[in-house]
Structure 1
Amino acid sequence: MKLRFLGSTSDGGACPTLYETDRGTFVVQGDEVTDPEALAELRNVLPGESVVEIPKELLRFAKPDESGA
């Protein structure tokens, strides 16, 4: 999988950060969710999956690809 940096809302490139993959998906870097109450509300988290928290403003970097590729 190849990643392309899209943007970050942190100074110095630390998390949270958004990447686009060459597979038509996104990779999100953020703070791990550890709050037991929040984790109890999640549905269908499969083995090998993680849950991270990001600020809403990070999603501004997730624009549709207008190149048609």
Structure 2
Amino acid sequence: MPDERSRAVVQTREFLVELSRDNSLPDRVRRDAKFLLRHFPTRDDVVMAGLIEEHSDTLPIGVLGPVFSPAITK
């Protein structure tokens, strides 16, 4: 479901942030987490993508169904 996918993406970003700041982890793990965060969507990006998909009746982006949802609840 799009809302579950959206929530998982947001929570994964939060997890990567935690990893990148945890000084008890090896440098490589923190460095890799920081690298991934550079390319990972923010919560606002996910919400915006969900809003675009939700209101894009005229665009051909819904062929596979919605990917994200603007409704993200923890």
Q: TM-score, with normalisation over the residues of structure 2?
A: 0.23
As a proportion of its length, which structure holds more helix?
2
- Which protein shows a greater Rg? 2
* Structure with higher strand content: 1
Q: What TM-score do the two structures reach when normalised by structure 1?
A: 0.24
User: Comparing both chains, which one has the higher relative contact order based on Cα–Cα distances under 8 Å and sequence gaps of 6 or more?
Assistant: 2
